Chains A and B, each alone.
Chain A
Amino acid sequence: MKIKRNTLLSLAGIALLVGAIAVADATLGRFSVRILNLSAIYIVLALSLNLLNGFTGLFSLGHAGFMAVGAYVSALLTMSPAQKDMNFFLEPIVPFLRDLQLPFPLALLAAGACAGLVAVVIGVPALRLRDDYLAIATLGFAEIIRVLITNAQSLTNGAQGLKAITKYSTTWVVWSVAALSVAFMLALVRSSYGRTMKAVRDDEVAAEAMGVNVFKVKSTSFVISSFMAGVGGALLGHMITTIDPKMFTLTLTFNILLIVVLGGNGSITGSVIGAIVVTVLMEALRFLDMPMNFLFIKTDGLPGLRMVIFSILLMIVVLYRQRGLMGNKEFNWDDFLGIFRRKGASGAGGRS
């Protein structure tokens, strides 16, 4: 009976969400829709990093590298030969790649697959490392990928970057991918595979003693995470329609890490909330950079002020909720309804 109620509530919630997205897509201005879609892409990216950081306990800083692989693969596969000729004005593109053009869904899968493949190559040596050492190693690998892209002029157009990538990342595409990612993560975390991942995270030695193949679990998690990062990177490329190697620096990884930590390490709900909060807040605070006229205080516009305020807000969150907004809990209807019930009770009975 109770389970049924929750299922119904979930279905209603999903329907409400789909409706809200449809309404937002149709009525909001292009600016708001862009921010909305960016949130969806960050949800995919945050989930992929959370899988490593939060669920498997692997501290990886190589995300920007996998995103770069995904973004470049998908961009090069969807561009028409004419667009490629326009972009590669310094050195012509290698011929076999020039005439290769795939439909977007296939290119998106290829982007994820290539990122996953790179993860296999990198993961085999790197995953033998633990903790901080793994972070440094993955960070180094991401840099290597970026430098390779910069130098492969006839393959990636090097530092010139690519432009006029077709804008496939529409509201429905990005939100479908985000929804798929959430569903996949939920299924994964609840499966026996997800439980072994958590076991590895909590105590590697104990997990191994229980018969878990730690290396296999780690590499699977690493490859899946990279696949999702590749897809996310591809979506990002198709959204801003231009990419270059400078985009995929450590800063990008940190942005995603920020979302994961803010939302709650090891919480899918947290990643979703974190992605939306960070993306929306960064733009909502933009007015702080503008010239202000506050009673007696007049500023001439202080660029960067919003970053200061944003950091202060982050510090407040970290001080009062050390484990992120959601901790490592997930959203469920019982707790959600419990909030109202508790409020109602305390309202009636007063503080005890």
Chain B
Amino acid sequence: MKKAILVIVAIAIVASVVGCSKAETKTDANVVKFGVFEPLTGANAAGGAEELDGIRLAQELYPTVTVGGKEYKIELAIADNKSDKVEAANAGQRLVDSDKVQVVLGSWGSGLSMAAGPVFKDAQIPAIGLSCTNPLVTKDNPFYFRVCFLDPFQGTVMANYAYKDVGARKAVIIREVSNDYSVGLAKFFADSFKALTGDQGSILAELNYNTNDQDFSAQLTQVKSLKPDVIFAPGNYTESALIIKQARELGIAAPFLGGDTWEIAEFINVGKQAVEGAVMSAFFDNDAPLTPLSKVFVESYQKKYGKLPSGTAVLGFDGYLLAIDAIKRADSVDPLKIRDAVAATKDFAGAAGYVTLDANGDPIKSAVIKEVKGGKFVFKTTVAP
């Protein structure tokens, strides 16, 4: 009996492996394959799913690309990197070797992109990062590009906002020390805020917390005694909303500024009344279209998913379109030629603004500043690079 079960299991495994390899060998001459390299399970699954939503929407709207008079169908090869670096490198290699993709899109989480970066570089396949903001992702890797702005730009934008619009001269930074995004943003905010005020002591304190922390009274008591004009607290939305909530309970009235991760419905759901007036940088706004495509994106997104798009979904959409645009400009589906075309991107009109890539493969694009008002994210202003 035991043996029979084991035999059945073994047969099932063999059969499924054989079935799988059969499916892989089926390639079509008129197909371009886009590898989607995202965390669909594990800690970053929510972010990966949002980017995938944006990519799927783009594929629905633009399912083909014409090269040299021939129409190519675009297929998505989706590889889950499990929010894990070791798996990420495996998944990247699989996309390159087994799925034989021409372009890769992703991944949410800079560390995961960095793990697969060398794989794409070795295979000479261009990869377009969507929301990975760590400067190291594209550094020293001529095959990695991205469509989101970086920490240095975002940090500078918020420092400018704090200095000019809030009129702040003294700031406190609260950062999520285990999060590369938060640490990077905090650093560049501090640098430009010091330069703007011309005062090395204008950052009163840099306080740390860890992902999944619940209680911030230690940090906030210190903030209260320092009496800053503004508090810059980039980081994960749950923790950030809790920080603001607890700060208001302690009677801290200074305005809170943050980064693009705040722009998500959960931020308001957790923070409720307390997060009113919180200001953040964002990739784009539904009400103030940056390009003609913004409107198309927002409308079709709402129709398909029945909710307002987040900042990361639009980047998935843009990454897909940038890949198509590059294929058209290269007039070829050869990965090397696509890479050159992506590298030469200039004034590409995506849904989240115009993208021009610099020598490093990083975009020069505008940011949007938003505020929470009446339980909604309200557009304040656009900041050009």
Contact = CB atoms under 8 A, between A and B. Distances in A.
A301 B97 contact: no
A240 B80 contact: no
Contact of A163 (B17, B86, B94, B117): B117
Interface stretch (A18-26, A47-55, A107-115, A154-162): A154-162
A34 B92 CA distance: 11
Nearest to B43: A246
B184 A160 contact: yes
Nearest to A167: B118
- Do most interface residues of chain A lie in helix, strand or loop, or is the interface mixed? helix
A287 interface: yes
Given A289-B78, A304-B41, A161 B184 contact: no
Interface in B1-45: 2, 5-6, 9, 13, 16-17, 19-20, 23, 40-41, 45
B178 A283 contact: no
Nearest to A158: B183
A159 B178 contact: yes
Contacts of B84: 247, 251
A242 B16 contact: no
A89 B139 CA distance: 11
Contact of B118 (A38, A241, A251, A288): A241
Contacts of A286: 79-80, 91, 94
Nearest to B152: A89
Contacts of B180: 158-161, 244
Nearest to A90: B187
- Do most interface residues of chain B lie in helix, strand or loop, or is the interface mixed? helix
Contacts of B91: 286
Interface in B65-107: 78-80, 84-91, 93-94, 96-98
B135 interface: yes
Nearest to B116: A240
Chain B interface size, under 10 / 10 to 19 / 20 to 34 / 35 or more = 35 or more
Chain A interface size, under 10 / 10 to 19 / 20 to 34 / 35 or more = 35 or more
A247 B88 CA distance: 11
B93 A30 contact: yes
Most chain B beta-carbon contacts within 10 A, residue among A38, A87, A236, A242 = A242
B98 A31 contact: yes
A217 interface: no
Interface in B144-182: 177-180, 182
10 contacts: A91-B187, A159-B178, A161-B114, A163-B114, A241-B115, A244-B85, A244-B180, A247-B111, A282-B87, A303-B41
Given A150-B178, A161-B180, A286-B91, 5 more contacts: A244-B114, A288-B16, A289-B80, A290-B20, A301-B78
Interface of B: 2, 5-6, 9, 13, 16-17, 19-20, 23, 40-41, 45, 78-80, 84-91, 93-94, 96-98, 111, 114-115, 117-118, 122-123, 134-136, 139-140, 177-180, 182-184, 187, 208, 210
Interface of A: 29-31, 34-35, 38, 86-87, 89-91, 147, 150-151, 153, 158-161, 163-164, 167, 236, 239-247, 251, 282-284, 286-290, 301, 303-304, 307, 313, 316, 320
